[in-house]
Amino acid sequence: MRIATWNINGIKARFDSLAHWLKEAGPDVVCLQEIKSQEEGFPRAAIEALGYNVAVLGQKGFHGVAILSRHPLEDVRRGLPGDDGDVQARFIEAVVPNGDGIVRIASAYMPNGNPIGTEKFAYKLAWLGRLEAWIADRMALEEPLVLAGDFNIIPTPLDAKRPQAWVNDALFQPESRAAFRRMAALGLTDAIRAVDDGPGRYTFWDYQAGCWQKDDGIRIDHLLLSPEAADRLRAAGIDRHTRAWEKPSDHVPVWIELGA
């Protein structure tokens, strides 16, 4: 089973790129973030015509997440538990059955948190705290779990071309990085680092200042695996070539392959 995550940065603006990539890469499950669309405006029919079932949590103009799956989507849950007053569309999970059992998959678009010292950074940390509670709850099920998405966290200096440029950014703050480590401490495996611990493994290049041309990137899109999923990890990669496409997202797809 191939599972991918992609911050699409606007489903309407990037639908042609998404359709091309789905045909090219053939993923079984795709977690999308920042769809910037309400559910009624999401191109469900066009994606279903490509062979995918669809679950969406949308929001007009901002945020929004979705899961696309060649397999049925069961037990779909929308929104991260822990704050009934949180209206930002950032989290959706589902159970995906296959011939080997099931995989629980979540698509998450975590808060950016900038500027530091504002309510936006406080919201980021509170949201990550809720996510940790969700992870602990799901890990108790002892089932294959994939937490995928745009984490808006640069885990280590190795995950940035110029780490010094990010020292005053919410993505690279000690509190943000500590939250990532706490997720790992709950038993989750960073799939990309499980197969490649070298530099240059970026998933985001800003549109400004020629960042793509200079390969001035960062790694903020991740797939974290429970032990039951990590045991089945066969490969992981980053489809960085999509960043060179016409009208690209500033993020690229990241994927894993799970065996039986």
Is 241 one of the annotated active-site residues of the chain?
A: no
Is 83 one of the annotated active-site residues of the chain?
A: no
- Do residues 196 and 142 lie in contact, with contact meaning Cβ atoms separated by under 8 Å? no
Binding residues for Mg(2+): 7, 34, 150, 152, 250-251
Q: Convert the pLDDT of each residue in 16-36 to its tens digit.
A: 999 999 999 999 999 999 999
Split at pLDDT 50, 70, 90, the class of 99 is confident
Region 173-196: what's the mean pLDDT? Answer: 98
| pTM score over 0.85 | yes
Would you tell me the crossing angle of helices 119-139 and 174-185 to the nearest 10 degrees?
A: 10
H or E element in which residue 193 lies: helix 191-195
Beta bridge partners of 251: 204
Q: Convert the pLDDT of each residue in 220-249 to its tens digit.
A: 999 999 999 999 999 999 999 999 999 999
β-strands 145-150, 221-225 pairing: antiparallel
Distance CA 76, CA 93 (A): 6
233 is written with which tokens?
């990890």
pLDDT at 197: 95
Tell me what percent of the residues of the chain surpass a pLDDT of 90.
Answer: 98
Residue 113 — φ and ψ, nearest 5°? 95, -5
Split at pLDDT 50, 70, 90, the class of 100 is confident
- Do residues 95 and 141 lie in contact, with contact meaning Cβ atoms separated by under 8 Å? no
- Do residues 104 and 138 lie in contact, with contact meaning Cβ atoms separated by under 8 Å? yes
Q: What is the dihedral of CA 149, 155, 159, 161, to 10 degrees?
A: 110
Distance CA 122, CA 139 (A): 26
- Do residues 89 and 57 lie in contact, with contact meaning Cβ atoms separated by under 8 Å? yes
Distance CA 135, CA 232 (A): 19
Which of 28, 109, 169, 222 does the annotation list as catalytic?
A: 109
pLDDT at 218: 98
Backbone dihedral region of 209: left (phi > 0), alpha (psi from -120 to 50 degrees) or beta? left
Region 110-136: what's the mean pLDDT? Answer: 98
> What residue ranges define each of the domains in the chain, with the CATH number in brackets?
2-258 (3.60.10.10)
